[in-house]
Amino acid sequence: MEAAIELFMSYLHNVKKMSENTRLSYQRDLKKMQSFLADLDIYEVNRVSQTNLNSYVLYLEKQHFAPATISRNIASIKAFYHFLFKERMVEEDISDELKAPKIEKKLPETMTITEVDRLLTQPSGDTPKELRDRAMLELLYATGIRVSELISLTMSDINLKMGFVICRDGSRERVIPFGNKARKAVMAYLEKSRGALLKSDAEEILFVNCSGKPMSRQGFWKLVKYYAEKAGIEEEITPHTLRHSFAVHLLENGADLHSVQEMMGHSDISTTQIYINKNRNKIREVYTKAHPRG
């Protein structure tokens, strides 16, 4: 089995062109399965049965691995056996009937509108850094874009007169509007702050750090954490919390699902529907607390 796994790793690298991290993930999963099978005195891929694979999945469940981890292991096994069958190293693909456990989608953590207001008003000074921080936070909540998209925005991606930003994801492009508060914050940053932070006039990135270079994801995460603590918000807040809050607050105030899907950049509307579930849960909670017979 060792040789078969090595062949599969070579296939992932040379043919599928997978990243090293992905290949290592497959390798870890398959080595774990190999160890389980070795305890059953099974060392050859063509001696493994469908029952053995089912027993292995049952073993993972008994070891209390998370459903997502078990699903990933099953995906690794299926890819491995599909390769073995295609290469005629086994007579049949015995992984075909393996079923992944159902993964319950966790509802995203969101902030209340009051909490968002408290967070966005924290950078209240007129220093170049605070003007930049306010503009970034306002624009993130106003558009619901990903933090990677926010820090990648260039000067040509934002239209202050019309009030929209352009985000690009591979060949896809989407236009997201933003309101007056975000527009004023970005204007203040451009007029009073960006020039003071820049080290080179050739820099095209919209938001730069104190060294005049593009802001990093880690740098912005620290910024959000700092202002959340300053605002007295006890729950852990990340840039993605603002993105989730953007979607939920739009839906709470009557936005249609397809428009939110477009703004969020979700290719599948089922991804956006999770925010509807969040909204329904809130309505039920309000009903239970407020109705005399709730």
Q: What is the predicted pLDDT for the residue at 99?
A: 84
Q: Taking the complete model, does pTM exceed 0.75, yes or no?
A: no
Residue 37 and residue 129 in one domain:
no
Q: What is the predicted pLDDT for the residue at 192?
A: 95
Q: For position 140, which CATH number holds?
A: 1.10.443.10
Residues 69-119 pLDDT 10s: 899 999 999 999 999 999 999 999 999 889 877 766 666 788 999 999 999
Residue 154 and residue 72 in one domain:
no
Residue 233 lies in a domain: yes
Q: For position 9, which CATH number holds?
A: 1.10.150
d(CA 137, CA 142): 8
Residue 174 lies in a domain: yes
Residue 126 and residue 179 in one domain:
yes
d(CA 49, CA 47): 6
More confident of the two residues 294 and 192: 192
Residue 153 and residue 29 in one domain:
no
Residue 104 lies in a domain: no
Is 279 within 8 Å of 248 (Cβ atoms)?
A: yes
Give the chain's radius of gyration (CA, Å): 25
Residue 71 and residue 162 in one domain:
no
Residues 133-189 pLDDT 10s: 999 999 999 999 999 999 999 999 999 999 999 998 766 889 999 999 999 999 999
d(CA 181, CA 134): 10
Residue 38 lies in a domain: yes
d(CA 136, CA 143): 11
Residue 163 and residue 266 in one domain:
yes
Residue 30 lies in a domain: yes
Residues 126-148 pLDDT 10s: 999 999 999 999 999 999 999 99
Q: How many domains does the chain have?
A: 2
Residue 218: give the domain boundaries: 113-290
Residue 99 lies in a domain: no
Residue 102 lies in a domain: no
